[in-house]
Amino acid sequence: MDTTLQDPIVGQVLDGRYRVEARIAVGGMATVYRAVDTRLDRVLALKVMHPALAADASFVERFIREAKSVARLAHPNVVAVFDQGAEGAYVYLAMEYVAGCTLRDVVRERGALRPRAALDILEPVLAALGAAHRAGFVHRDMKPENVLIGDDGRVKVADFGLVRGVGDVTNTTGTVLGTVSYLAPEQIEYGTSDTRVDVYACGVVLHEMLTGAKPHSGDTPAQVLYRHLNEDVPAPSAAVPGLAPELDRLVAAATARDPEDRPFDAVALLALVRAARAALTDAQLDAVPPRARPEPTAGADADGRTTVIPRIRPVEEPDDEPVRHTSRLEMPPPDAGPPAGRSRYGAGGRRGMPSRGVLAAVVAVLLVLGVGTGVWYINSGQFTRVPSVLGQTEQEARERLGAEGLDAKTTRDFSDSFDRGTVMGTDPEPRSRVRGSGPVTLVISRGPEIVRVPDLTGKTLAEARSALKEAGLAAGLVKREFDEDVARGTVISSTPAAGRDVRPDAGIALLVSKGAPVDMPEVTGKSVADATTELEGAGLTVKIAAEQVNSAQDEGTVARQSAAAGTRLAQGDTVTLTVSKGPRMVSVPDVTGQGTEAAKKLLEDAGFQVEVERSFPFLGDTVGEQSVTGGEQAPEGSTITLKTKGL
C-alpha cells in the first residue's frame, strides 16, 4: 500500500545515489525515509530536513553536527551515520536502517514492562549514551521515540539532532529545544545542558517502562514543565505496587531535581543499574505488571515531538546598568504552588541564588554608605527593562507592564505550550531595554491550533485529497475494499473520522471503495466477441493483447485470460485477453518397431499426447502402427495413437 501519497521526495534519487522508496516517520525538524543506496545496493534510512528549515543556517549547522558527532561514536548501540549531503532544498543524512519498532511502540502496545525487560532495554541505551558522554557529547533529547528495537532484538539510540559538546554552554536567551516530558529542571529554567540531563531523561524513561505512563502529566506543556521544576518524579511502586525498592531508588537517583545529586553521566548510571539488577531476585525481575495499556496522552507533547519551548527565567540580580525592577519566575502552577518551605531543588534551596537575608544585608550596606535605594532609579526616565510576563493572563500582564510605566499592545497566535488567553511571548523579549514607555507587544495564546476533519464520504479520491489540503491536512494511508453500496473510487470512511479535531498537517487515512465484487468467468476457448460481451456485461474492461500465441485452442479464440476464473475483481478492472493462433505444427517422430514405453516418452517429449492400443492376444510390446506416420506434421498437443504388434 502507498503510505506516502503526495510526498514529493518519494520516488526521487537524491544526489544521484539515494533512491527514496517510502516515508517512515515525520518529526519536528526532519522526515525519515526508507531508501536504497544505488551504489552499494543496500537499504538505509534517509533523514531529510524539512525544506522550510533548510534556509536557517542554525538548523543546518545542527544537522551537520549530528552527522559528525555520530560518525565519531561508532558504537554498536548507536544508529550509524554513513553520509551527509544536500541537493537543492533537501539537506539529508544517510543512516543505518533498523527494521523493527521504537520503545514508544512497545510501551503503547504493552503498557508497563517487567523489570527484567525494562533493564534489558535501558542498559544498551546507557552504553550508547555513555560512549557519547565519554566522547564529549550530550544527546539532549532522550525519549522512547529515539530508542529503536530491531527485529533481531538489538537496541539502538537514534536522533542525535540536538547533540552538544559536554563543555558547550547552552544558556539560551529565551527558548530550549526538547520534549517537555523528558526535560531536566535545569534545562527548563536555565537552558543549560550537560551529561546529567541525559541521565534525568533516562530516569523518566525507566519510570515510564516500569509503569506504562509518564511521571508528570498535564493538559498543557506549561503544567508539565512546572511539575518537573517543583515535584519529584514519583516512585514507580506507587503506580505498580510490589516493585522492588531498588527500582524506586534507581529512578529517584536518576531524576533528582538537583543535578548535583544525580549520577554524573550515563556510565555512572549504568553502574547503578547493574548493581540494582544484581540485588534483585529472579522473582523481582520477572514480576508481572498490570496488563492494562496506558491511555493515550492528551495535551503536553502527546506525539512525542521535539519542539521549541519557551524557557522559564530565574530571578536575576541587577547588573551594572540602571534598571527599575528584577524579573521573577513567571511560571503559573497547574493547581497550586510548591509545598511551603520547599524550593525547586529540595529543602536546601536553589544553588547560586541569594537568600532574602543576603539581599537585606546588601541593602543595609548601601544605606550605611549613603547610597540609598535611589541608585536603582538612575536614568530611569530613559530606559526600562521589560518584565517577564510569560504565562500570565492578558489582564495581569497589562497591569504588570503598567506598574513599570510601559504601554501594552496585543497580538494573538496559536500555541501548544501556553493556555488560551495567556502570554506566550513579548516583543521586545523579557529583560530587553526599552526607551520611555515602550510600547511592549504582548503575544496572547489562542491555544493549540486544531483542524476539524471534513466529511469525505462519497467524494472521489482526488476530491478527498483536495478537501484535506484545503483544510490544512494531508492524505495518509489509502486502503481499498469491496463495497456494494459505495461507488468504485469514492471514499467510504476516514481515520480519524469526520468531525474529529486533529493537529494541522496530520495525515488522514482513507478507505476507498472498489465497488461491488465481480467473479471472473472462464472465457478461454470462446470467441473473442463472445468473451468480450460476457466480461463487459459483468462490468469489466476488456483489452486484447497485441500479440497472438500458439495454443491448443482453435485459431481466433481466447488462448489466455489475465485473471484466472473465480478471481474477485472490482467493476471497471481491466482483463487482458490473448488470442490463439491455433496449435503449433510439430513433426511426428517415427516410433514403429520400438517398445511402447520408449515410444510414448519420445512422442510426449515432442509435445504430443499418447494413447496405446494393444493387439490381441496381448503378448507383444512393440509398436506396429502409429496414427500419424513418422515425419508428418501434427498439431502440438494432439493425440497420437500407437498399436502394438500381435503374435
The catalytic site residues sit at 141
Nearest Cα to Cα of residue 307 among 29, 2, 507, 515 = 29
Element (H, E) at 491: strand 491-495
Report the distance separating Cα 162 and Cα 172, nearest Å: 14
- 478 and 5 Cβ atoms separated by less than 8 Å: yes
Using the structure block, give the residue that is written with the C-alpha cell 500465441. 549
Q: For the residues of 246-300, what is the DSSP string, one character each?
A: HHHHHHHHHT-SSGGGS-SSHHHHHHHHHHHHHHS-HHHHTPPPP-PPPPPP-ST
Strand partners, 543: 576
Q: Which residues contact 562 (CB under 8 A, 6 or more apart)?
A: 575, 576, 577
Q: Which of 205, 103, 109 is CA-nearest to residue 154?
A: 103
Measured torsion, CA atoms of residues 378, 384, 390, 396, in degrees rounded to the nearest 10: 90
Burial of 434 by CB count in 10 Å (0-12 exposed, 13-18 middle, 19+ buried)?
middle
CA distance 93 to 49: 9
Instruction: Round to whole Å and give the CA distance between 430 and 366.
Output: 27
Q: Which three cell numbers stand for residue 108?
A: 503503547
Pairwise CA distance, residues 71 & 68, whole Å = 5
**In 3D, which of 467, 439, 466 has the Cα closest to residue 453?**
467
CA distances 397 to 245, 310, 410, 444, Å, are 46, 17, 11, 10
Rounded (10°) angle between helices 195-211 and 103-110: 30
